[in-house]
Amino acid sequence: MLDLSFPWPIGLIPIAMTIWASYGLCRAVVTRDGVTWASVVSVLGLVAFMAALTAQVVKPVINQALSLMIAQFLGTVACFLLVKLLWSVQKTKPEPDPSFRRPDVKVVRGMGICLSFLIVIDGLFFLFPDAGKCEHFKGYMADKCAGQELFIGIHDLPVETYFGVVLGVPALAGLILGIWALFRTAGLPNADELADP
C-alpha cells in the first residue's frame, strides 16, 4: 500500500507544475497549435516528472550522478519524440528555407555554452550529492528545511532527477541540435558569405 503521509518524495510544487504541463501539452494537441514555446516547456515539465517518478519507483542502485546523466539523455530523447508528435499535428507548418548555409560562429559558441552549463550542473550534483538534506540541521533550520521538503519533495534522487532534467535537458538538446546543424550543413557556404555578388 502507498504511504501518502507528508513529505512526499516528489513534492506538491513539481506535481502542480506537471499538471500544468499536461494541460499545456493536451491543449497544444487538441487545438493543433503544434510546436510553440508553451508546448515545448510543457513537454520538458512532463518529461522531468516522468523521469523523477521513474527514479522513485525503480530506485536505481547505481551512482546518483550516473543515473542523473542517463535520465537527462533519455529525457532529451523523449522531448525530441514528443516535439515530433506536436510537429505532426500542427495545422500550419512553416515553409522551410530553401537556401541552407553553414551556421556561423554563434552556433559553435552556443554549443560551448550548452556543454559548459551541462558540465557545471552535473558536476554540482556529483560534487554535492547530500546538499539540501535536512539530517544535519537542528532547530529553526531543521523546521525550515522540513517545510521546503513539504512543498518541493524529500531531498533525494527523485527531486534531484526532476531538477537535473529540467535544467540539463535544454542544454543537452541545444548541444545535439547544434551538432546536427553542423553536420547537416557541412560543405555549404558560410552564413556570413554573400549569396549574390
Distance set, CA 52 to CA 8, 101, 129, 165 (Å): 12, 40, 16, 9
67: closest CA among 81, 51, 80, 82?
51
For residue 92, give the C-alpha cell.
Answer: 500550419
> What are the tens digits of pLDDT across the range 142-158?
787 777 777 777 777 88
Residue-averaged pLDDT of the chain: 81
Per DSSP, what are the bridge partners of residue 190?
A: 102
> What are the tens digits of pLDDT across the range 90-131?
777 667 665 556 666 778 888 899 899 999 998 988 888 776
Please report, rounded to a whole number, the percentage of residues in the chain having pLDDT higher than 70: 83
Indicate if the pLDDT at residue 38 is higher than 80: yes
For residue 159, the tally of other CB atoms under 10 A from its CB is: 22
Give burial (CB, 10 Å; 0-12/13-18/19+) of 138: exposed
Query: Residue 89, SS3?
Result: coil
Query: What pTM was computed for the model?
Result: 0.78
Residue tagged 515553409 (cell numbers): 95
Confidence of residue 1 (pLDDT cuts 50, 70, 90): very low
Indicate if the pLDDT at residue 26 is higher than 70: yes
Contact 153, 7 (CB under 8 A): yes
Q: How far apart are CA 53 and CA 9, in angstroms?
A: 9
